[in-house]
Amino acid sequence: MRPLFASLVLAAAGLAACTPALSTPLDQIPKLTKLDDVMANQATIADPQFAKIGQTTYADADYAAFTAVAERLQITSQKTEDFAGEFAKGKETEFKDVAKKLGEKAKALGTAAAAKDAPASSAALKDLKSTCKECHSKFR
């Protein structure tokens, strides 16, 4: 059993290495120069919260985490737009539209979290995840 556990731990560590954890101070996000760093900032905070989609209740700590996600994604989505010309040649407008959509969905999560509205928070998380997938399928 130990070799299997060790293999699973190594595999998980390898997957985590694909997207380095990054938590840039919010006021420094506008200064980021690489789209990968912006995406890592988004994934670091948002991905763990996506596991909570569909829950019917949340604790105060969850709402606090949702608020942090909302704030970070609103800022990173604005920064993402800066990379449209470099990353989405010929599709800059579409790229910027998806980035704006992510910011709007993040704002909705912040509103739901502030109201401690579990159904709206879950729906907003689901919408955020869907928007992430939409962007990745179109531009990755």
Q: One digit per residue, pLDDT tens: the chain, 140 residues? A: 444 333 333 333 333 444 467 789 999 999 999 999 999 999 999 999 999 999 999 999 999 999 999 999 999 999 999 999 887 888 999 999 999 999 999 999 999 999 999 999 999 999 999 999 999 998 88
Measured CA to CA, the distance from residue 68 to residue 109 in angstroms comes to 10
Class of domain 20-139 (CATH, top level): mainly alpha
Place of tokens 């407008």: 93
Q: Which pTM does this prediction carry?
A: 0.83
> Two tokens at 61?
């700590």
Tell me the residue type at 68: A
Long-range contacts of 58-65 (CB under 8 A, 24+ apart): 58/116, 58/118, 58/121, 60/116, 62/121, 63/113, 63/114, 63/116, 63/121, 64/113
What is the number of alpha carbons within 13 Å of residue 14 lying toward its C-beta?
A: 6
